[in-house]
Amino acid sequence: MAISSQDNAMRTGRATRVFIYVFLLVFALFYLLPFFIMVVNSVKPLGEITGGNMIALPEVWTIEPWLSAWSTAQIGVEPTGLRPYFWNSIKMVVPAVVICTIIGALNGYILTKWRFRGDTFIFGLMLFSCFIPFQIVLIPMARILGILDISGTTSGLVLVHVVYGIGFSTLYFRNYYAAFPTELVRAAQIDGAGFFQIFYRILLPSSGPIAVVCVIWLFTNIWNDFLFGASFASGGAAPMTVALNNLVNSSTGVREYNVHFAGAIMAALPTLLVYIVAGRYFVRGLMAGSVKG
């Protein structure tokens, strides 16, 4: 066998190479097809869908399904479209992400630079909280939201997402700050800098990358959540995912597939946009979620 190739890629014959490309392209098709079909069918009149081929391009292009999904489709009992629910999701995601990120940054800073007895244990407790099945907290959470008088509201959902987001945001910032030179912190401390000064002046300015990762992770997770939304905020305060599910599974009338697809794409757009804009960070964020990459 010939040696001396510089890289560690396989030295492959032509046939193998063709096979690899075909394999990768087939999978690319597999991943793209469902989304392609959703897009194509969201701009077809309903008749073309029920009587026709789902892969074919529309004969008549129409944006009617999109308009309907956005502002007139029947969600539950009201023909409001998805618009109000879209705003519900925004109103839920933005505060939850901001609060969670700030708390995570502070926690990460404390758990790496101000270590004390039992800090690893505390971190362990927080870390495990990321992985519990949320079914275990549904019943008491419903009670607490009732007692606080915020059940069925967006603020209630914000609280829920903040509480169960702290574990992940702390994890990200802790792992990131762990690599940050502690000598810098010690030096500043000797110069008389206090707890918050060190955080603002030394750690925060270099936290950009991890903040992006954390925001992306929280944003996609909270936006995509269904269980909490369905449990604690059905009706008018429901987030987008719950409204979409109601739209698609409503049993009354004709199944307007094109409207369903337009709605599904709307629900997917914010996270897709985040993914396209910050894709590389997105991967890194997901990887960090695996504790060790």
Question: Least distance in Å: CB of 89 to another protein?
Answer: 10
Q: Does 63 bind another protein (CB under 8 A)?
A: no
Q: Does 245 bind another protein (CB under 8 A)?
A: yes
Q: Does 283 bind another protein (CB under 8 A)?
A: yes
The tokens describing 158, both together, are 């914000």
Rounded Cα distance between 79 and 250, Å, is 12
**Smaller CB separation from another protein, 159 or 211:** 159
Phi and psi angles of residue 196, each rounded to the nearest 5 degrees, phi first: -75, -35
Question: Least distance in Å: CB of 74 to another protein?
Answer: 16
Cα dihedral sign for 188, 190, 193, 195? positive
Question: Least distance in Å: CB of 271 to another protein?
Answer: 5
Question: Least distance in Å: CB of 278 to another protein?
Answer: 10
Half-sphere exposure of 74 (CA within 13 A, CB side): 10
Residue from the set 14, 53, 147, 253 that interacts with another protein by CB under 8 A: 53
Residue 162 near residue 96 (C-beta atoms within 8 A):
yes
**Smaller CB separation from another protein, 154 or 246:** 246
Binding flags for another protein, 188-227, as an x/- string (CB under 8 A): ------xxx-----------------------x--xx-xx
Q: Which of residues 15-34 bind another protein (CB under 8 A)?
A: 17, 20-21, 23-24, 27-28, 30-32, 34
Residue 65 CA: distances (Å) to CA of 44, 53, 238, 269 = 8, 18, 22, 16
Q: Which of residues 251-280 bind another protein (CB under 8 A)?
A: 257, 260-261, 264-265, 267-268, 271-272, 274-276, 279
Q: Does 106 bind another protein (CB under 8 A)?
A: yes
Question: Least distance in Å: CB of 245 to another protein?
Answer: 5
Cβ neighbours for 70, distance < 8 A, ≥ 6 positions apart: 81, 82, 83, 262, 266
Rounded Cα distance between 278 and 201, Å, is 26
Q: Does 47 bind another protein (CB under 8 A)?
A: no
Q: Which of residues 149-178 bind another protein (CB under 8 A)?
A: 163-164, 166-167, 170, 178
Residue from the set 69, 141, 203, 214 that interacts with another protein by CB under 8 A: 141
Residue 91 CA: distances (Å) to CA of 76, 111, 131 = 21, 31, 25
Residue 243 near residue 90 (C-beta atoms within 8 A):
no
Query: What is the SS3 string spanning 106-165?
Result: HHHHHHHHCCCCCHHHHHHHHHHHCCCCCHHHHHHHHHHHHHCCCCCCHHHHHHHHHHHH
Residue 75, strand partner residues: 78
57-65, 77-85, 206-214, 242-250 -> range binding another protein (CB under 8 A): 242-250
Residue from the set 10, 60, 94, 187 that interacts with another protein by CB under 8 A: 10
Q: Does 122 bind another protein (CB under 8 A)?
A: yes
Q: Does 14 bind another protein (CB under 8 A)?
A: no
